[in-house]
Amino acid sequence: MEVKKLSQILTVACGILGGTLLVPMHAQAAPDPNFHIYIAYGQSNMAGAGDIRRGTDDKEHPRYKMFATTSCTKYPTVGEIYPAVPPMFHCGEGLSVADWFGRYLADSLPDVTVGVIPVAVGGTKIELFDKDKYASYLSTAENWLVNWAKDYGSDGNAYARIVEVAKKAQQVGVIKGFIFHQGESGAMNGNNWQQEVKKTRDDILKALDLSSDTVPFLAGGLEDRAAGGCCWSFTDNNIKTLPNVMDNTYFVSSEGLKGNGKDSYHFSSESYQEFGRRYAEEMLKHISTVPVEPEPQTPFKGGAFEIPGKVEAENFDVPGKGAGNDSYKENDAEDHGKTNYREGTGVDIYQKATGYVVGYNQEGEWLEYTLNVKEAGDYTMFAAVATDNATSAFQLSIDGEAITEAILVSKVEGSGSFDDFGKVKANVTLPAGEHILRMTVTSSWFDVDYFQFAKGKDAPDPDGSSDFVKPAFVTYATESESSFALLDVQGRVIAVMQAKNMHEAVSKVKNSVTHDIVSGGIYFVISNPGTKNQQRKKVVVYEK
């Protein structure tokens, strides 16, 4: 079907949709080497059995954070970062060894932010953290313990929750060590307990691609039996001798710490504070405390892309070190392209007839490129893209400021293959000098080969293939309107329009039917194209 000039009701389908298509994305910064993160696990003394002293224990430290591992009103989203304020391990719990550990550590490292990943269950044996034994252990455990474990997932897999959250934490910081307190249940089982502890640590390290050589492990003593504590001397001795079985492992003494006066297992709030200080002091002996200098991202082949000129999508910058110095954001670590080009990044790079392209693009991902713009002014951007999807889209920005709205990637006429590349174009204004270009995926599933910038507004395609270029057109909705796209049955975008609601959009399509706009047949109207909130409505148009 040939698309001709449309009336005031419909605007020609174009590369760019206006305001309502734009989806703000949270940019994921590079891991900050000065954000030190610790995995805290064990049973009740780690989970938090102390009374929270209001105004003292619950006072927020500006450089101590926690990664939520359970979902509470206070910490609603698992994996998100919140102030490290008790209770951290479970909703409604108490003060933990971890609370003051992080505060003392942050106070000792003024250039560092400290984070903790808290996963612990009162009364549990070490088997709960064994990825191969947790299920059989929970199958015979008391209901209260099973329910407590399920705070970390419906199956109670505490190991999996540690790894899940730790992988998210590795995107923003560095795993520096473990703090561990467990043994009241099970440590009397001789070396079997020690080997179990080692296995849980080693399994976690393997899952996170870390080495015990660089990640110290601290294990704390139990309540002193001489002061009315819980456990036999050989039980505490198993913890003291854990360094004989595990490398880079250290014992933190509980000698002289007072109990809570209620039972023989748990410490007083004052003792939790002191115990946290002891953990912090021991950790400081085994980690590097020298702040890491951030390093900026750099061009992939050593030099910035010269503009006017072509930017190959696969040649995004090499990431630097520190917050804000990453050069890409990838939703998963698997390279679906399987080319091994830019190996280790996880960016999905495919080999096509024209060379390497970036594909499998998912909403929220982005790539950055260093540009050297010879002259400030108006340019025409051409992007070579392919899709089998009707609503894929991306946006371009310079140094964090948008230079386009979301650009709709349409199917090539007569094709729906990811091997057939067409082009979209947009007029942009660029500043002179060296700048960072970012391409952000605002709606999933398209391939991109390159971005090319030609000097001047509405400039001809430097490759001479303007017959395959979709013209850009920016359309803006009023405050009471939204964007709608009109698609044919092949999924090709025919037009975009503004309407107050789906009913009005459908009416506009039906009422605008003439032989020079749309022919009779079946079409689809999509609301909020390019966003997660899009809806689709089938429309049957009859010839007039």
Quick check: 320 and 298 in contact, CB under 8 A?
A: yes
Q: What sign has the CA pseudo-torsion 298, 300, 301, 303? A: negative
Query: What is the DSSP code (8-state) at residue 128?
Result: G
Q: Which of 61, 90, 181, 266 is catalytic?
A: 266
Answer yes or no: 136 catalytic. no
- Classify the C-alpha dihedral 238-242-244-246 as positive or negative: positive
Residues 6+ apart with CB under 8 A from 189: none
**In angstroms, rounded to a whole number, what is the distance separating the alpha carbons of residues 195 and 241?**
12
Q: Are 93 and 15 in contact (CB under 8 A)?
A: no
Look up 326 and say whether it is catalytic.
no
Closest of 118, 208, 213, 119 to residue 171, by C-alpha: 208
d(CA 237, CA 216): 20
Taking the CA atoms of residue 303, residue 305, residue 311 and residue 312 in that order, the dihedral angle to the nearest 10 degrees is -10
- The two beta strands, 349-352 and 355-358, are antiparallel
Cis peptide before 87 (omega within 30 of 0): yes
d(C-alpha 375, C-alpha 465), whole Å:
25
Number of neighbours of residue 270 by Cβ within 10 angstroms:
15
- Beta-bridge mates of residue 427: 380
Which DSSP string corresponds to 385-434? EE-S-SS-EEEEEETTEESS-PEE-PPPTT---TT--EEEEEEEEE-SEE
Alpha carbon separation from 370 to 11, 14, 257, 426 (Å, rounded): 35, 28, 57, 20
DSSP 200: H
Cβ pair 422, 471 in contact under 8 A:
no
Q: Which residues contact 22 (CB under 8 A, 6 or more apart)?
A: 395, 402, 405, 406, 442
- Say which of 202, 209, 263, 399 is annotated catalytic: 263
Asked if 102 and 200 touch (Cβ cutoff 8 Å), the reply is: no
**CA 370 to CA 306: how far, in whole Å?**
9
263 as an active site residue: the answer is yes
Distance CA 265, CA 267 (A): 7
Annotated active-site positions, please? 44, 263, 266
